[in-house]
Amino acid sequence: ARRNTVRDIARLKGQRPIVSLTAYTAPMANWLDDHVDFLLVGDSLDMVLYGFESTTGMTLDIMIEHTKAVMRGAKQAMVVIDLPFGTYEESPEVAFHNAARAIKETGCTAVKLEGGVEMADTIRYLTERKVAVLAHIGLKPQAVNVMGGYVAQGRTEDSWAPILEDARAIQEAGAFAVVIEGVTEPLAQKITEELDIPTIGIGAGKYCDGQILVTEDMLGMFPGNPKFVKRYAEMGKMIDQAVGQYAEEVKSRDFPGTEHTYAMKEKK
Ligand code: KIV
Ligand code: NA
C-alpha cells in the first residue's frame, strides 16, 4: 500500500474521524500501521521511553533515530516527527534548518511544533519552503516550566480568545492540520467547526476531526493515568505477570523445558 499523504489526511475532515497514535520504535510502528492514518514520533518518548519528568530534554538527534525506526516499521501510515524543545523557537531560519534535516534524514512526511500566534511566522516560513507542518495548540507540554505544570486550557469562556486566535493563525500560516491538547470539549468543537484543516484532539473531547493518544498510555504500559487516557489494555500488568512466572520457572528449573533445548545430533 502507498503511504498516506497530507492530502489523504486533509480529505478525511468531514468524512470520518482521523485515527492517530504515537510510535517510537519499528516493531510498535509495524503493529499500529494497519490501524492508523498517521503516526507521530512524539517527544513524549523523553518521558515514556527515557524516563525523564518532562519532554524538555529531548534532542533532535534522538528524535531522528526513532523516526527512522518508525519509518522502517510503518508502510502505510504517514509519519510525523515532533520537533523537540529548543530546535525551532529561536527563528524561522533555525526551525527550517532543523526541520529540513529531520525530513531529509528520516524520509518522514511532516514536522510537528508547539505554538500558535507566536509560531505563525515560522509555520509560514517552513510551509513556503516545502516543509509540511502539523501545529500543536492548547496545552503545550514543552511549556511545562513556564506553565508550572500541565494545566487544561479553555476552562472559562474568557480564556477562549487566545486559543481561537492560535487556531486561526496556524491555519492561515499553512499548517496542514493541528493537534489540540488539553482543552474543554466546547472550545475544541468551536475550533473544529471554524477551521478548514483537520483538528486532532488529545484530551479535547469527541468533536475533533481525529484523535491521538500516546500508545503506551492507552495500552496501560506507562504509569499515571491522565483523565483523557482510556486504557484499552493493561499491558503493564501482563508484563508483570509474565515476568513473574518466568522468574519462578527459572528458579524451579521448569524453564527451559526439553522443547526449548537443543538435542545432541545422532552419531552416523
Ligand atoms: O509528544 C507527543 O506524544 C505529542 C502528542 C501526544 C500529541 O505531542
Ligand atoms: Na509532543
**Three-state SS across 45-73?**
HHHHCCCCCCCCCCCHHHHHHHHHHHHHH
Nearest CA to ligand 1 atom 1: 42
What would the grid cell of residue 146 be?
513556564
Ordered by where they begin, the domains of the chain are: 6-234 (3.20.20.60)
* Spacing, Cα 8 to ligand 2 middle (Å): 22
Active site residue: 118, 128, 181, 185, which one?
181
> Which atom of ligand 1 lies nearest, measured to the CA of 200?
7
169 lines ligand 1 (CB under 6 A): no
Determine whether the annotation assigns residue 114 to a binding site.
yes
212 lines ligand 1 (CB under 6 A): yes
Q: Cβ distance 209 to 134 under 8 Å?
A: no
Q: Please write the tens of the pLDDT for every residue from 181-206.
A: 999 999 999 999 999 999 999 999 99
ipTM of the complex: 0.99
* Spacing, Cα 183 to ligand 1 middle (Å): 14
Q: Which residue has cell 467547526? A: 193
Q: Cβ distance 109 to 79 under 8 Å?
A: yes
Task: Return the pLDDT at 224.
Answer: 84
Nearest CA to ligand 1 atom 5: 42
Question: Is the overall model pTM greater than 0.90, yes or no?
Answer: yes
Mean pLDDT of 89-99: 98
Does the active-site annotation cover 128?
A: no
Confidence check: pLDDT of 1 > 80: no
- With both helix axes pointing from N to C terminus, report the angle between 160-173 and 185-194 in degrees, rounded to the nearest 10: 30
Q: Please write the tens of the pLDDT for every residue from 153-184.
A: 999 999 999 999 999 999 999 999 999 999 99
